[in-house]
A and B are shown apart, each in its own frame.
Chain A
Amino acid sequence: MDKDKRNINYNIYVESKVPKTRAWPSLIKAFILGGTICAIGQGLFDMYTHFFPSLSESEVSTCMLMTIIFITCLLTGIGVYDVIGAWGGAGSVIPITGFSNSISSPAIEFKKEGIIYGICVKMFTIAGPVIVCGVVGSIICGFIGYFM
């Protein structure tokens, strides 16, 4: 039997042995966690609107995001957020908390390699692709929007 055929057969066999992630428990956990994070965000939004009536809606939303990002960084720093993320999966990744965690965790991790080569270089190893995709996506959408 030639190698390619053997490898294909082996890969098919391994695939059949691999335990599958159960979708429903993961989805429910992600829904609960993501929903909780969004509810906290909405709570903060309402609180800021109530206590600072002079702020415009966009300013309130900025304050709310800043608070959420700060809390996530703090939880990442004290080693709580990775536990939350491992439990809730996409529920913790999709809101802005996931983005905040993906920047603060390499910053903490690579601090030992120095400020420039450690923190500054490694900070965007995980969030970098998100930023690049976001910028490229918005350029494409901008073009489409301009000519439509």
Chain B
Amino acid sequence: MQTYKLKNKVYILDGFSMVGPLEGKGPLKDYFDYVIQDDTLKEKTFEKSERKLLYDLIINAVDKARLKISDIDFFIGGDLLNQIVSSSYTARELNLPFIGLYSACANMTESLAISSIFVDNKIADNIVSATCTHFSSAERQYRFPLELGNQRPPTAQWTITGGGACIVSKTPSKIRIEAVTFGKVIDYGISDVNNMGAAMAPAACDTIKTHLENTKHKVSDYDMILTGDLGKLGSEILIDLMEHENIILGQNYSDCGCMIYDKTERVFMGGSGAGCSASVLNSYVLYKMKKGDFKRVLMVSTGALMSTTTSQQGDTIPGIAHAVELVYESNSTEKENKTNSNKANNGNKKTSKSVSNSSKHRKTSTIKRRLA
């Protein structure tokens, strides 16, 4: 079946998000763990900056979950650059077994889904699942040079600088992964590369519909249904397509691409990129779930699977969407505290790297040290 319901309890231990300066001014600025002020990250090329971003994300996510890199069994992730170089080069630095993925901007949920299946089947105890994008490296690869004075069409989206990493683990926490749905590749014949939302919306529609059917849930069961980066136009199309399937997406539906930027920014239809859903999931969504504001969330990252070559040859854009269902687990708090305090004690004995969740100051200073 397309939907896999996890047999055992698999949790998201913690997540870490980092975004660039523009995203850091947006409506979700208070939720991000760290806002980069200099988007080069003091590297010579933007590709190197993206790599550093991913490395920092993973190191800090592991720290935040009070683990050590040696506790991690796998790194599962991908990115948007050709041959997923950012992830592979990051894996080289981390010295972890690496499973590289590519489903464009749907990387986050794909890696979460695969990680959770690994943990569910007791292949691994802790897996770091991460992805990120960098505006400048994506522009270089997919579009025009940064300094070219061109205009964008109104349907264009803005690739975000940022990303997220989270630790999928068997150790109890407040956020449990209940079911995952792998999407089909769906192409409705859109060939405009500046209108990705319209190209990806049918895939999102199919995945959400399949997930709801297989889990026997209704839209109203969710506190939030979140698509990855459909943007303003794409999410309007999704609402229409779902209505056609007799599923009404209400107030509980939103899109990460629409949430991440302020309305005043010149980002047209909103944010896009693998980092878009990754950063929103690991900041806003996890925060709200930890607090118990959201009890059940359906995260559906969406990806457009074309390349510059195929689109120049006039091919249409296939879309994909993977869904991950997250639930709030209130009774795990006690267990979690116990385990965490044990882990923290162990961690403190061996290393002073552990980061306190409550102390924002300490957290920031650790990150700064990591970034330096």
Contacts and interface: CB of A to CB of B under 8 A. Distances in A.
Contacts of A76: 147, 149
Interface in B35-93: 44-45
Interface in A50-93: 76-77, 79, 81-86, 89, 92-93
B154 A18 contact: yes
Contacts, number: 86
B198 interface: yes
Nearest to A111: B45
Interface stretch (B22-30, B109-117, B187-195, B272-280): B187-195
A31 to B, nearest CB: 15
A24 B242 CA distance: 36
Nearest to B187: A7
Nearest to B189: A7
Interface in A1-45: 6-8, 10-11, 13-14, 17-21
A108 B154 contact: no
A60 B163 CA distance: 53
Nearest to A7: B189
Residue of B150, B202, B240, B266 most packed against chain A (CB within 10 A): B150
A93 B149 contact: yes
A120 B146 CA distance: 18
Interface residues of B, number: 28
A112 B198 CA distance: 35
A58 B138 CA distance: 43
Given A14-B198, A18-B155, A21-B154, A105 B147 contact: yes
Contact of B147 (A6, A8, A82, A93): A82
Given A6-B188, A7-B188, A19-B154, A101 B149 contact: yes
B246 interface: no
A109 B146 contact: yes
Interface in B181-207: 187-190, 195, 198, 202
B179 interface: no
- Contact size range, A: 35 or more
Contacts of B175: none
Contacts of A81: 147, 149
- What is the interface of chain B mostly: helix, strand, loop, or mixed? loop
Interface string A107-118: 011101000000
Nearest to B153: A21
Contacts of A14: 190, 195, 198, 237
B145 A18 contact: no
Contacts of B188: 6-7, 10-11
A19 B191 CA distance: 17
A145 B266 CA distance: 48
Contacts of B237: 13-14, 17
B144 interface: yes
A69 to B, nearest CB: 14
A72 to B, nearest CB: 9
A108 B146 CA distance: 9
A13 B146 CA distance: 33
A102 B188 CA distance: 34
Contact of A85 (B45, B151, B195, B266): B151
B140 interface: yes
Nearest to B266: A86
A133 B145 CA distance: 21
B66 to A, nearest CB: 38
Interface in B108-159: 140, 144-155
A88 B316 CA distance: 31
Contacts of A85: 148-151
Given A7-B188, A19-B233, A79 B150 contact: no
27 contacts: A6-B188, A7-B316, A10-B190, A10-B202, A11-B188, A11-B189, A14-B190, A14-B195, A14-B198, A17-B233, A17-B237, A18-B155, A18-B195, A20-B154, A21-B153, A76-B149, A77-B147, A81-B147, A82-B148, A82-B149, A85-B149, A85-B150, A86-B149, A101-B148, A105-B146, A109-B145, A126-B144
